[in-house]
Structures are given as structure tokens and as C-alpha cells.
Structure 1
Amino acid sequence: MSERVEWDDLPADLRSAVEARTGKVVAAEGIADGLNCSTALIIETAYNGPLFLKGVRRTDEPGMAALRCEERINATVGGIGGVSPAIRHRFDAGGWTALAFGCISGRHADLGPGSQDLAAVAATLRRTHDLPVPDFPLPQFADRLRTFLRPGEAQILQGSHLLHTDTNPHNIMIGDGGGEAYLVDWAMPAIGPAWVDPACTAVRLMECGQPPEDALAWLGQFASWRRARPSAIRAFVDATCRHWTATVGDKSAEPSNSRFRRLLECGRTETA
């Protein structure tokens, strides 16, 4: 994670631009989670109440690319009818670009044993995959794994659904009002099979201590997973394991890879 800049350390021009739109910032709390920004703050404002402020220096090319992606996709995923908070303001000042989102009053999702959040998480994943595909280009999920796929496997991993691709617990918020789940940090969206996000979330459940059989039972509620071709699941799992092994080495990758391999225990044939 990159260095995080607190409110008082942001450029004066940026702070002034924020307060010109939101009113005085009377409190600011830094957020440590996330990888794609240089500042992440919950700010309490005079005009707009609490907002989530996320910003990057304009010299940070990867960070700017991720922030631009979040801004563009917010029209699809944010606000009423969406699965994520809407953007309220954009700021360009002091060599920075920042977005102010509506602030969720809530907490990170609990994906561990005994959690009461799993039904809400499942409902939001279903809603996500019913959203329209944005009207700007997004990569196919298979393209991210192309280096690790065998010939012909990219084709069977093609899909037409919007994917978040990073459903770790820090990117799933549970609202205080009614326990609804929200997906945040849309920095790496893709297009692909609808079952990919539920499958990755099931792996996260195992990572958070759920017994594999319970995680797979949760995954089994998704029609997209039940209809998934076993050859596509195999291609996804094998390529993901190769990717992690290439990234961190055999020993470090094995805990994650063993969880992904559990996805192969679906007990289906190719004609099912």
C-alpha cells in the first residue's frame, strides 16, 4: 500500500476546492484499506455531511487510471438502483484529482464462520451481474489471465457480465440501516462470466475461516455457478494458481491455490 496523506497534509489548493463545494471540513479520519490511492478519508462536511474522499497525485499514472475507471463506472454501479455509493463531487487542484463519494454508515463485511452478512453479500452480487455493461471499453476477465491460460482456454472464459473482481472483505460494506451490502473500490472491473465474482468470494469465505464445504454450499445458490462449464472452472482455477505461483512462488502461493482448487469439487460433468 502506498503512503497515505492525511487531510491537513493535502495541498491547500485541494482543501480549498473541497470546502468550496462541501462547506468546511470539521473532521477527517484516514482510512488505511485499499491499494489504489494516495489519500482515503472520511470527511465530515458542513453542507454535505459525511463523505468518502479518495484522491491521487496526477503524476501517479496507475493511480489516475484506477481513479478514472472508478469515476466512469460509477454511472453504472453508483447511487439509486446501484450497488455502490454515488460520486458527489470531483476535484482537480494542487496537482491532485479527488472524488467525493456518498459515505456508507456501516462496517466491512464479515465473511467468517457464523456471519449474518452472507445473504446480503449474495444478493448484491446478483444485482451487480444484472447491471448493464458500461458504455466504455472494459477488459475481458480472461485477458488478465491470458499469460497463464492454455490454448483455447481464453475462449471458454469469455462472458458478458460486469465483474468487480476484488471482493475481499474490505471492499464489501454492510450498511447500518438494513444490513444491505455495497461493493466499493471499483478500480479493476472487467467483463466475464457471471460466476467469477461469486467463485472468488467463496474463496474469500474459506480465507476468512469458513469450512470449504460451507463456502461451496454458499456458492451453490448462484444459478450462474450451477450452469458454469466444468472446463471453464478448471481453466480459471488452473490459470489463477499459475498466476499466484509465478507472483509469489510455490510455497507462498500454496495456501491460496489450495482454496481455489476446492472450486473443482463441484461434481459436474461437461454435459451437465
Structure 2
Amino acid sequence: MPTARIPYDALPPAALAAIEATTGPVLSFDSPAEGFNSAVAAKVHTATATYFVKALPSDHRWVWTQQREADIAPYVRPVGPALIAHLVTSGWDILIFEALPGRHADYRPGSADLSSVADLIQRIGELPTPPIELRDATQRLAAYVTVENDLQHFAGTTLLHTDWNSSNVIVGADTRIVDWGWATRGAPWLDAGYWTIWLIAAGHTPASAERHGARIPAWQAATAEGLEAFAAANARLWSATAGEQADPWTHRIMTAANDWHEFRRAMP
């Protein structure tokens, strides 16, 4: 579920001072409306540069994602932002990144961004899997399969981002992606599968979303059985995440995941 947001300047004074010891005096800041994984997420502006700051309380159940982002940052520089600093102070875990220039990707049907996002997914799949602790796709999806053998479809060693929320994809002179806290290793086609759900949520039919996914070479490694198993697992995952009183954002993704699952189940 989404993490409650607080303004950047609500951080403890000692934490703000630690940030400024790295960035220099912060003259202004603004917080994007998109994204749900950080208690603090803000662009901070100094006299000479702009940075992106994200933070979680040190005792938050997802604070491990901060360490994962810090660990993986050097290995994903071709497709992600540079990490400037990782600070733990005053009860907060804080990451300071370069602020990527550009705008959030547009996933709607007909968008000119779709080609560059497909290319980005391919570029990520071609990166060496870094020698750090990563989640495993079979581990992440094990609770959402009803046939144990279905997990074999998700196994692999390819580096995956897995969170293809359009707010994580920055389109500028180059297209790059932020928010690597849920980086995973698994089958090479899974990122294309995760993207498919977000495309459906943006207005594509399941058939249209799959056609865009199929532009990514790794998609060809997926079997019909694997795609159905993946769609089914994600439908269960998002239904469990939504619970009985889903917020509009979660309900939209849950509906997209269920629509894809129904489309896959109906295929001969």
C-alpha cells in the first residue's frame, strides 16, 4: 500500500543539515505527486544544481529498499540516475540522487514514448546482473501461484526493474528509470510482462499491450503457459494488495492485472 508522504522540510533539522552538507544550501524544493514508496520524495534546488531526495524512517518495513537502491546504483548508471549520497541520521534513511532532466513517460495508446520505453526495457535486460543481493522472481511470486510448477516460468538470472509505473520512467534526451528498490533477478521476459499491466492501466487493451511487449526481444522467450501463469499471479497479487477498500490508484492496477489475466485465460 502507498506510504504516507510528508513535506521535505518536515524532516528533522539534523537530517536537513546532513543533506545540505552534501548538496549545499537548499534554496527551494518541490515534491512530485507521483510515486508511493517513499515518505519523502522531493526535488531540491541549490544555487548550482538540482537533486532528488527520497527518504524513509529507519524503522520502516521497506527501508531495505533504500539499501538496495544504494547498492545497485553504480551498476545501472547507463539507465538510471547517479547516487550522490546515502545518509542514515536522526531516525531517517536518506538517498540523494542526481535529478534526471525530462518528464514522466506517457503510456497512453498512440504515445510517442512507447518505443523508447520498449528500448529501455531491452537495455536493462542486456546489463550484467550485479553481484549484490537481489530479490528473486520465484520468491516474490511464490505466494500468488496455485500450481507450484508455474514458478519455473519465472526463474532466471536476468536483471529486472519490475516497477514500471510511468512515474518511474523519465523521458528526456535519453529515457531512463528511477526507483530501483525492487530490483529482482528472474526470467528475461518478466519486465516486458510487468510493463504490459501498466499499459493496460493506461488505456490499452490487453491485445494492444501485448503487441508493445512483444517489441522487446526477450518477450519471445516467454511461453503461452508462462504468460498465463504470470498474469494469474499478478492478478492475485494486486487483488491481495487492494483488499476490500482499494484506493483509486491500486484499484486501477488491480483491474488492469485482472483484465490481462482474463484475456490470457480466454486464449485457445
TM-score band by shorter chain is: 0.7 to 0.9
Query: Please, which moves more after superposition, 192-201 or 233-242?
Result: 233-242
What's the offset of the Cα at 1:254? 5.1
2:195 aligns with: 201
Show the counterpart of 1:139: 135
Aligned equivalent of 1:171: 168
CA distance in 2, matches of 1:123, 1:263: 25
Please tell me whether the aligned partners of residues 22 and 46 of structure 1 are also in contact (alpha carbons under 8 angstroms). Answer: no
- Tell me the secondary structure at the aligned position of residue 226 of structure 2: helix
Tell me the distance in 2 between the aligned counterparts of 1:92 and 1:191.
Answer: 27
Note the C-alpha offset of 1:261. 3.8
What TM-score comes out, normalization by structure 2 length?
Answer: 0.88
For 1:145, the aligned partner's letter is L
Q: Deviations over 1:101-152 (max 9, x none)?
A: 0101211100002201011101110110111112122222121121232122
Q: Name the amino acid aligned to 1:138.
A: L
Q: Does the 8 Å CA contact 2:121/2:216 hold for their aligned counterparts?
A: no
In the alignment, what sits opposite 1:152? 149
Residue 117 (1) aligns with residue 116 (2) = no
Structure 2 unaligned regions, length at least 5: none
Moved more, 162-171 or 241-250: 241-250
Query: 1:55 and 2:55 equivalent?
Result: yes
Structure 1: any 5+ residue segments left out of the alignment?
A: 268-272
**Structure 2 residue 80 is matched with structure 1 residue 84:** yes
Letter in 1 for 2:20: E
1:2–1:35 Cα contact (<8 Å) kept: yes
Please tell me the residue identity of whatever aligns with 2:171. I
Aligned partner letter, 1:224: A
Please say if 1:64 is aligned against 2:63. Answer: yes
Question: Are residues 266 and 125 of structure 1, via their aligned partners in 2, closer, same or farther at CA, if it must alter by over 3 Å?
Answer: farther
Structure 1: distance between partners of 2:109 and 2:24: 43
Does the 8 A contact of 1:233 with 1:264 survive in 2? no
Report what 1:270 is aligned to.
none
The CA distance in 2 between the partners of 1:46 and 1:134, in whole Å, is: 35
Partner of 1:228: 222
The structure-2 alpha-carbon separation of the partners of 1:255 and 1:167, relative to structure 1 and needing over 3 Å to count, comes to closer
Whether the 8 Å CA contact 1:76–1:134 is kept in 2: the answer is yes
Give the ranges of 4+ consecutive aligned residues of structure 1 lying more than 6 Å apart after TM superposition.
249-252, 264-267
**Does 2:258 correspond to 1:257?**
yes
Instruction: Choose 1 or 2 for highest CA Rg.
Output: 1
Equivalent in the alignment of 1:22: 23
Output the CA distance in 2 between the equivalents of 1:7 and 1:242: 35
Per-residue deviation, 1:242: 3.0
Q: Is the 8 A contact 2:228 2:261 kept in 1?
A: no
8 Å contact from structure 2 (residues 28, 45) kept in 1: yes
SS in 2 for 1:101: strand
CA distance in 1, matches of 2:85, 2:239: 41
Q: What's the C-alpha RMSD, in Å, of the aligned pairs?
A: 2.3
Q: Which amino acid aligns with 1:182?
A: R
SS at 1:187 equivalent: coil
Distance 1:139 1:191 in 2: 6
Deviation at 1:89, TM superposition (A): 1.8
Does the 8 A contact of 2:137 with 2:186 survive in 1? yes
| 1:209-220 alignment, distance < 5 Å | 209-220=203-214
